[in-house]
A = this chain, B = another copy of it.
Amino acid sequence: METMTWNQQIVKKNNKALVLQLIIEKEPISRADIAQVSGLHKATVSSLVNELLEEELIYESGPGESSGGRRPVILHFNKVAGFAIGIDIGVNYVLSVLTDLKGNILIEKNQPLAQTVYSEVMSTVKNMIQSLINEMPGSRYGIVGIGAGVPGIVNKEGSVLLAPNLGWKNVQLKTDLENEFRVPVMIENEANAGAVGEQQLGAGQDYQNIIYISAGIGIGVGIILNKVLYQGRNGFSGEMGHMIIDLNGKLCSCGSRGCWEAYSSENALLEMAGKNTDSLEALIKRAENSDEAAKHLFGEIGNYLGFGINNIINTFNPDQVIIGNRLALAKEWMVQPIRTIIENHTLSHHQKELQLDFSKLGKYSTVLGVTAFVVENFIKEEARTS
């Protein structure tokens, strides 16, 4: 029962955020255009724009083209008013980036991980962050926040309750990073982050309801409904890797049976490939060299992916399904099998306007997702304090 009540300050805050959002999305843009598309009065826009100018969140450039009268003043988003740091903690690597406020990567660091003990990983992460901060250009707001994506179950307080592939259990990732760096920290499940990344900067920019499938060592799913990430009661939504697609099927590491990821993850692929194949990359190479066995293997994985996607479409009736993470590298040999399964199984009305795409950001989906989160949070906070 906190923010239920409405008043002028809320109105102003929201309108200011709206104006800023429009500038971010449509720059270069003039005050007059903003008034036009937002429906706000030009005087209102003028006043809000002036505040944003003072806060250095936007800046003016020279006059634009006249359309038969006075030339407009062009406004731009000041994307280097601050910077965000994104961390993707994988099973055998840590990828960290420094981005501007529009999600452009300025600096990128990649570090292989020999082991995944929490203290070791944290020390690596902290070093990477510190070195990004050291290399960061000067700016009005500095580091506006740090985001981290983790392959595991993350609660809304930023604790990692369980990350089987890392061997983590109940680690206070958010608190630890906040204590070290004293900036806002956001922790998200790797699939949720990837979904946000693709939505904001990748393949999902035109869609409202997006299901992002992170097909890696396991399978996780990020669910974006009506343009916002759905997290579930505790933040655990999207564990569809453990959706049962085969009642009496294979045992899964989770203790259940017939889980989706037992059939169509990287692990499942390598298992099917047998002992003489040791990596996804090797298999892709073989497929590129027209190795029929390898191609067939990817086709099989595609089939299994298709069954899960069938369930997703019938459940969510989404605008778009995006397949990302490492298995998306094998798009070439999986896309047709997936489509065929959908055509043959999914309810026909649900298929009609559905968009099936592969990740556009590739290995950056997760890092760019968490930085987008951080930036969004910063902008909201900033718009509030005036």
Contact residues of A with B, CB < 8 Å? 1-2, 4-8, 10-11, 14-15, 18, 37-40, 153, 161-162, 208-209, 221, 225-226, 230-240, 242-249, 254-258, 307, 310-311, 314-319, 344-347, 349-350, 352-353
Contacts and interface: CB of A to CB of B under 8 A. Distances in A.
A210 to B, nearest CB: 10
Given A5-B18, A11-B8, A344-B256, A230 B239 contact: no
A240 B315 contact: yes
Given A225-B225, A239-B317, A233 B245 contact: no
A348 to B, nearest CB: 9
Contacts of A153: 347, 349
A6 B48 CA distance: 13
Contacts of A1: 37-39
Contact of A7 (B11, B232, B238): B11
A153 B346 CA distance: 14
Given A235-B317, A317-B236, A345-B256, A243 B5 contact: no
Nearest to A345: B256
Contacts of A344: 255-256
Contacts of A18: 4-6
A313 to B, nearest CB: 9
A316 B247 contact: no
A4 to B, nearest CB: 6
27 contacts: A1-B39, A5-B18, A5-B39, A5-B40, A6-B10, A11-B11, A153-B347, A208-B233, A209-B232, A225-B225, A233-B353, A234-B317, A236-B347, A236-B350, A237-B315, A239-B315, A239-B347, A240-B311, A242-B310, A243-B311, A244-B345, A245-B247, A245-B258, A246-B247, A254-B347, A255-B344, A256-B310
